[in-house]
Chains A and B, each alone.
Chain A
């Protein structure tokens, strides 16, 4: 365990050192996140401007959901995209061999090798939005604290789904864009799940569990929703994490390396 911490520290310090060579990039990505933020707010405003409300969600509560979405977006830009979207390259070029030879878990290596600081602006803007919505609703530190657990569970769920899709590249080398489908569907998490028609709600709860990524943490923060959702969220994260690991080991049995 301690070895993994040490390796992780080395991974991330080298990755950050490498990325900081491109400092202008930081300004560019910050500007892009700011633009994205303005756009998301505008999109939400279009719904609320005539007095319509998502069922049971005031403007401030909807801001919490949007803020949580932005935080998760930043998280995926920092960890998921730079690592998991590269699995396909490793398979294509056969460099996965080197990873498999190393004396640590290959899943760990593939999931944590790189951290990209360019997701940071999104995380910060998301937190600011949560802070703004929360202060308008009179939330205290305890409420924010309660939301950390479901948010972390949501992040684990997201990671597991993403990793499993990435792992399918062992079979289908050319399908590097399958994660784009997931990303497209995740956009639904910008809005509370109650805003959707019934068919959509079922789909986004049971098929692609978007509801657990943003709506459940926001409900916990607001003190709604109850324990049932939290329990379901924990169960989902745990099951998916285990399944992802098993799936990876299963997939590796079919890995034949490149050009040999």
Chain B
């Protein structure tokens, strides 16, 4: 246990140092995630006429929360893992007594700390544009929302890492992620809160993992709690499912892996 903590601490500090080395790059990654903010403009304009269930204020809050959750849950492990397999750089990592998954995991986590200051800055900027929308989450909602965000990150990481393992069999594993990302973009609540979806669509979507990655944590953060128990249960179930698949694929994949270029 103590060893695990030590490994975690070392990896965190090492990767944090890496990340802050390229701060300018980080700023650009933050800025490239402006999609929710663009949609915020559209929805705020649309909601002026009271034809939707949500008021403009709600929508500003919602999309700012979406933006933050999205920043907190960005995952890119598949691109790195794919390269490691194709170029054979995975081999030396396999010799280490730590599963390579943790290396990726901690590099993502430490990047969060380097990225968040910029993200909050951008949110502050938009609150200047819409000062009436400033809000504080209630304490219980805030805690639940943070927990949901952390879980959302873990779920997204496990899902993408599972797809990444397809790199053992094909050179275009990232195509899987591209397709998955489309579903994620349009069904997670990034384009609109789920309460604005047609009822039938919403019922179906709630069975998929996507709304729990964005919509659920964001709703908690803006004090519009959804069915909390159902949300957390769904996240844990989906995580467990992908975790199982992931470990199975990992064992099969290592047998398949031939260490190209080694």
Interface positions of A (Cβ within 8 A of B) = 25, 28, 31-32, 35-36, 39, 42-43, 46-47, 49-52, 54, 172, 174-175, 177-178, 180-181, 183-185, 187-188, 191, 195-197, 199-200
Complex Cα distance, B175 from A25, in Å, reads 9
Complex Cα distance, B191 from A191, in Å, reads 13
Chain B residues contacting A25 (CB-CB under 8 Å) are 172
Q: Are B175 and A28 closer than 8 Å at their CB atoms?
A: yes
A-B contacts, 20 listed (Cβ < 8 Å): A32-B182, A36-B182, A39-B186, A43-B191, A46-B191, A46-B197, A49-B198, A52-B46, A52-B52, A177-B32, A180-B32, A184-B33, A185-B34, A185-B38, A187-B35, A195-B42, A195-B45, A196-B42, A200-B38, A200-B41
Complex Cα distance, B25 from A178, in Å, reads 8
Chain A residues contacting B91 (CB-CB under 8 Å) are none
Chain B residues contacting A184 (CB-CB under 8 Å) are 31-35
Q: Are B31 and A188 closer than 8 Å at their CB atoms?
A: no
Complex Cα distance, B198 from A49, in Å, reads 9
Q: Are A35 and B179 closer than 8 Å at their CB atoms?
A: yes
Let me know if B7 is at the binding interface, CB within 8 A: no
Shortest distance in angstroms between A2's beta carbon and chain B's nearest beta carbon?
Answer: 39
Q: Are B24 and A172 closer than 8 Å at their CB atoms?
A: yes
Complex Cα distance, B40 from A200, in Å, reads 10
Residue of B nearest to A196 (CB): B41
Shortest distance in angstroms between A199's beta carbon and chain B's nearest beta carbon?
Answer: 6
Complex Cα distance, B42 from A199, in Å, reads 12
Let me know if B132 is at the binding interface, CB within 8 A: no
Residue of B nearest to A191 (CB): B42
Mark contacts of B74-93 with chain A using CB atoms, 8 A cut-off: 1 yes-contact digit, 0 otherwise: 00000000000000000000
**14 additional A-B residue pairs with CB within 8 Å, beyond A49-B198, A181-B32, A191-B42:** A25-B172, A28-B175, A35-B179, A39-B182, A39-B183, A43-B191, A46-B197, A52-B46, A52-B49, A52-B51, A175-B24, A184-B33, A195-B46, A197-B45
One of A28, A47, A174, A187 near B46 (C-beta < 8 A): A47
Number of A-B pairs whose CB atoms are under 8 Å?
Answer: 81
Complex Cα distance, B197 from A199, in Å, reads 27
Shortest distance in angstroms between A88's beta carbon and chain B's nearest beta carbon?
Answer: 12
Q: Are A174 and B24 closer than 8 Å at their CB atoms?
A: yes
Chain B residues contacting A172 (CB-CB under 8 Å) are 24
Q: Are A47 and B42 closer than 8 Å at their CB atoms?
A: yes
Shortest distance in angstroms between B49's beta carbon and chain A's nearest beta carbon?
Answer: 7
Let me know if B233 is at the binding interface, CB within 8 A: no
Residue of A nearest to B197 (CB): A46
Chain A residues contacting B44 (CB-CB under 8 Å) are 197
Shortest distance in angstroms between A73's beta carbon and chain B's nearest beta carbon?
Answer: 13
Shortest distance in angstroms between B253's beta carbon and chain A's nearest beta carbon?
Answer: 20
Chain A residues contacting B175 (CB-CB under 8 Å) are 28, 32
Let me know if B28 is at the binding interface, CB within 8 A: yes
